[in-house]
Structure 1
Amino acid sequence: MTKTLLPLAAALCLAAPLSAQSQADAPGGHVDLAVAASEALENDTLAWDFVEGLTTEVGPRQAGTEAERRGREWAMDWLRAHGFANVASEPFAMDTWVPGDVWKARITAPFAQELIVQPLGNSAATAEGGIEGEVVFFPSVDDLRAAPAGSLAGKIAYVSHQMRPAMDGSHYGFAGPARWVGAGIAASKGAVATVIKAVGTDHHRNPHTGGTSFPEGVDPIPAAAMSVPDAENLERMFERAEGRPITLRLELNPRRIGTTMSGNVVGEIVGRKPDLPPVLLACHIDSWWNAPGAFDDGAGCGIITAAALNVARTGTPLRTIRVLMAGAEETGLWGSKAYSEAHIDEPIAVGLESDFGADRIWRFESNFRRTNPGLHTKLAKAVARFGVADSAVVATGGADLNIVRDQEGALIDLQQDGTRYFDLHHTPDDTLDKIDPAQLRQNVAVWTQVVGILANEPRAIRDAGTVPSAPAIMDR
């Protein structure tokens, strides 16, 4: 096993040894940064307190709804109670979709039975009582793209994929288009509805929801995700049908409720030189309606706030540390876009986001490895003791860091182990009990170390150079 794949237990052992000098508190009664990070690894409770409280007292936080508003208020209360300054909600308007409460799918012939589905974000509703049509099976979204124009008139498209677990989550980019664009492609070819194999890696009868989209000029159609085991059952039906048509009745009642308000939550650990560009730590506060969003992304908000507070224990940092809990990420990065529009003229020193669950960080990436190799190397060496490997991969930043990409600024990605992330993603299984406290603490330790160095860096984080182009940012 290489160092890159060190298990958490080994990382704990690596992190333990500290010299007597480093174990002592720094002058002025403040804790040394290395000590603060190591203590976070052993006993940090801040991140857990945040995600436990948010998921218990608020629960699911669908974007643009009253539940998301309660989530913002809860988060602001928590930040104020823990000493953050300049805590505020920055509101923005958004076009809001809600899922309704009727999600039914039934094979009517030749193997009659119920199947489990949930609507996809931006889905249209069926008529009351549902619609029924012949199902056309597409093994992949590319097969759907190849279907002749008009060939799906009056029919229901079923789109599959072959997603598998991956430590870096890379199969999401491979399988995700079935959800992101499948319904729009099917609608453009005349389909009356679309059902996809849920984009996930578990075998529970819990469909993974998420947003879908329709091209300009194409009217939305009903679109649903089918649980992975039910989708595999449907595919077996096609094998056994021997050419007989398979018909499905689908009933969904989502709706658009017009323009509502969402908002971004911000708070700061104010630095000694607040005129210097701040270090921006991002997460998102909303979740889909079907889960309290412990992994996605309550844990991320807990991690970044805990890290900021741990750095504050080491003394007032040189730069301000600003946390951004973006609203309405899941339904289209509304908060990320709104924050960039509102603050584009306010330079950010460097941006980091936690939005890939709560399992251990295993790789460090930046977009300044070549333009500021000294700082990149310093950061990479500082987190090696936590089992985190250096990487030449160029960081592109999380979904809620639009402002940093728009400013062509410095970015860091602290890559988490995503092997089981897509077992839980956008499902009712995304609950607090799935978080491993030891791995959550490892995240906080790594973030504490990295943020502490960045917040006390007097020079520009990213020296002049060509900014690598970022890939399309997908919600996680």
Structure 2
Amino acid sequence: MDYSRRKQVNQRSLTGAFVVAAGLIFGAVLPGQAALSDQQVTTLDTIKRDVSAASHSYQLIESLTTEVGARMVGTPGADLATDWAVNKMNQLGFDKVWVEESDAQLWQRGDLSASITAPYPHKLVAIALGGSVGTNGKPVEAEVVYFANLQALQDAPANSLTGKIAYVGYRMERHIDGHGYGKAVGARVAGASAAAQKGAVAFVMRSVGTDTNRIAHTGMMRYEDGVKKIPAVALSNPDADLLENMLHREEPVKFSLTTNASGPTGKTVTIANVIGEVTGSESPDELITLGAHIDSWDVGTGAIDDGIGIGIVLAAGHYIANMPTRPARTIRVILFAAEEIGLVGVRDYVARHKDNISNHMIGAEWDFGNGRIYQLEPGVGPSALNSIRDFATYLAPMGVALAPTNTAKGQSDMSLLGAAGQPAVNFAPDGLDYFDYHHTDNDTLDKVDQEALKVNTAIYTLFAWYAASSEVNFHQ
């Protein structure tokens, strides 16, 4: 069975399992039962037909990746992205558009070269992890010590790495829901400080990615207070294989790393959440939120992470803004700043809006996946579950199953709004290929699955209209 065929079968199997489980937990809706009114179904059918056939979200991603490109915090691209988003929202028919500014720490990436110098010299493809210090242009060369995972590194004896370079070779697993990321990302976040505590002079790891391309994956790391800061880099998967092949020969392997002008600058920069609203016709103070993050890493053009999310939520707002009749509640689209460096923009948003979180009726974000949505998980009050079940029943023919849980808090940025009390819906898309491109130079427009994008945009638009038209209090 070829890979694409296997992917389809796996998705159908998962969908079927979720449908059965959802029926057990929420109560099955039998054929012929009228869950939604005829008028609601007619409107939903119109939205599904129109948006599924449109390419607005793809056009927006094309515009963003062509006219702006990479949008790393503190770079000209980030400022250009803010202006782009404000202009697009105004062009797309949003009633209100504004920015909310705050500050973030500035980190800069310098040039980097990495190589194995002995016993068999090879130049390697590597990338600095976000937040890493550099080498001030001077090479750091030392023997490499292998660890299978972060825990093995943390368990190493004290001072066992003095003058050496720690390498963690954990290989991320590929899964439709991306849960392999959680097992792999710990080394990226905490590996450098763990290595430094054992005396290491640098930290190297296999990229947190599922591809076999000779392209390295970046991503944020953290230093522990009071622990020496050492350089932290990720190797492409093929180069990690090469390094491990050499280590298996049981000869000392020396690694050389040089970076210029890389590291935290100690400066702050201005960031901006860009917010647009489609005003509700009856209850404008009640908000349905759609989120994505506007920043990206400085590699690639941020087409998938998170250009897809930006395209989806802007297209959804655009469609509803131009409907003949507005829904009762306001739809607020939030493009969060500085997600990649630690959810900085949404922290500011929650602080600013903490006194009216009760007006945030329900929200959803897109910040994962490239394939079609196969599952909806709610996180709402018990009285609202029947309404969510009714909506999920409508989505079922689109291949979307209702999860057997009611624990969604919102994805990515929205998770902090969920923690503050906003109900949420988490849509789970097929993410089998997401971590092939995540945080790499390969995150470009050609990787976007255009047909899946149409369906996913339709689902988000259907959700936004359904929630904004509903009289249900999703908090209760």
**TM-score, with structure 2 as normaliser:** 0.89
Aligned equivalents of 2:165 and 2:463: distance in 1?
Answer: 50
- Given that 1:4 and 1:387 are in contact with CA atoms closer than 8 Å, whether structure 2 keeps it comes out as no
The answer on 1:32 being equivalent to 2:43 is yes
- Given that 1:383 and 1:450 are in contact with CA atoms closer than 8 Å, whether structure 2 keeps it comes out as no
The answer on 1:255 being equivalent to 2:263 is yes
Which range moves more in the overlay, 208-217 or 274-283?
A: 274-283
* SS across alignment from 1:345: helix
* SS across alignment from 1:349: strand
Structure (1 or 2) with the greater helix fraction: 2
* SS across alignment from 2:85: helix
2:29 alignment partner in structure 1:
none
**Cα deviation, residue 276, structure 1:** 3.6
The answer on 1:450 being equivalent to 2:463 is yes
Read off the aligned partner of 2:302 and give its amino acid letter: G
1:382 alignment partner in structure 2:
394
Aligned equivalents of 1:38 and 1:358: distance in 2?
Answer: 21
Aligned equivalents of 2:320 and 2:254: distance in 1?
Answer: 59
1:318 alignment partner in structure 2:
328
- Given that 1:307 and 1:445 are in contact with CA atoms closer than 8 Å, whether structure 2 keeps it comes out as yes
1:407 alignment partner in structure 2:
420
- Residue by residue over 1:87-118, the C-alpha shift from the partner in whole angstroms, topping out at 9 and shown as x without a partner, is 11211111110111x11111111111111100
Read off the aligned partner of 2:84 and give its amino acid letter: W
* SS across alignment from 1:325: strand
Aligned equivalents of 2:337 and 2:143: distance in 1?
Answer: 39
**Cα deviation, residue 273, structure 1:** 3.1
1:61 alignment partner in structure 2:
71
The answer on 1:222 being equivalent to 2:231 is yes
1:106 alignment partner in structure 2:
115
- Residue by residue over 1:268-299, the C-alpha shift from the partner in whole angstroms, topping out at 9 and shown as x without a partner, is 00001345420111100111001111000011
**Cα deviation, residue 131, structure 1:** 0.7
Counterpart mapping for 1:273-284 below 5 A:
273-284=282-293
Structure 1: 5+ residue runs without aligned partners?
Answer: 8-24, 464-476
**Cα deviation, residue 4, structure 1:** 5.3
Aligned equivalents of 1:47 and 1:169: distance in 2?
Answer: 23
- Residue by residue over 1:155-192, the C-alpha shift from the partner in whole angstroms, topping out at 9 and shown as x without a partner, is 11101113121000010011111111111211222211
1:425 alignment partner in structure 2:
438
**TM-score, with structure 1 as normaliser:** 0.89
Taking a change above 3 Å as real, the CA distance of residues 459 and 6 of structure 1, as seen in their structure-2 partners, is closer
* SS across alignment from 1:329: coil
Aligned equivalents of 1:369 and 1:460: distance in 2?
Answer: 8
* SS across alignment from 1:62: coil
- Given that 1:37 and 1:310 are in contact with CA atoms closer than 8 Å, whether structure 2 keeps it comes out as no
Counterpart mapping for 1:319-338 below 5 A:
319-338=329-348
Taking a change above 3 Å as real, the CA distance of residues 248 and 448 of structure 1, as seen in their structure-2 partners, is same
Aligned length: 440
* SS across alignment from 1:344: helix
Taking a change above 3 Å as real, the CA distance of residues 278 and 403 of structure 1, as seen in their structure-2 partners, is farther
Match of 1:245 among 239, 246, 252: 252
- Given that 1:337 and 1:402 are in contact with CA atoms closer than 8 Å, whether structure 2 keeps it comes out as no
1:272 alignment partner in structure 2:
281
Aligned equivalents of 2:200 and 2:282: distance in 1?
Answer: 59
* SS across alignment from 2:425: strand
* SS across alignment from 2:248: helix
- Residue by residue over 1:322-349, the C-alpha shift from the partner in whole angstroms, topping out at 9 and shown as x without a partner, is 0010011101111111111111112211
* SS across alignment from 1:114: strand
The answer on 1:350 being equivalent to 2:357 is no
The answer on 1:174 being equivalent to 2:186 is no
Aligned equivalents of 2:44 and 2:367: distance in 1?
Answer: 24
**Cα deviation, residue 38, structure 1:** 2.3
* SS across alignment from 1:320: strand
Structure 2: 5+ residue runs without aligned partners?
Answer: 1-8, 17-37
1:50 alignment partner in structure 2:
60
Aligned equivalents of 1:118 and 1:209: distance in 2?
Answer: 6
* SS across alignment from 2:296: coil
Match of 1:118 among 127, 135, 153: 127
State the identity %: 38
Aligned equivalents of 1:294 and 1:426: distance in 2?
Answer: 11
**Cα deviation, residue 402, structure 1:** 4.6
- Residue by residue over 1:34-88, the C-alpha shift from the partner in whole angstroms, topping out at 9 and shown as x without a partner, is 21122211x2121011110000000101112221010111011111001112211
**Cα deviation, residue 5, structure 1:** 4.8
- Given that 2:320 and 2:465 are in contact with CA atoms closer than 8 Å, whether structure 1 keeps it comes out as yes
Taking a change above 3 Å as real, the CA distance of residues 201 and 3 of structure 1, as seen in their structure-2 partners, is closer
* SS across alignment from 2:208: coil
- Given that 2:15 and 2:401 are in contact with CA atoms closer than 8 Å, whether structure 1 keeps it comes out as no
1:437 alignment partner in structure 2:
450
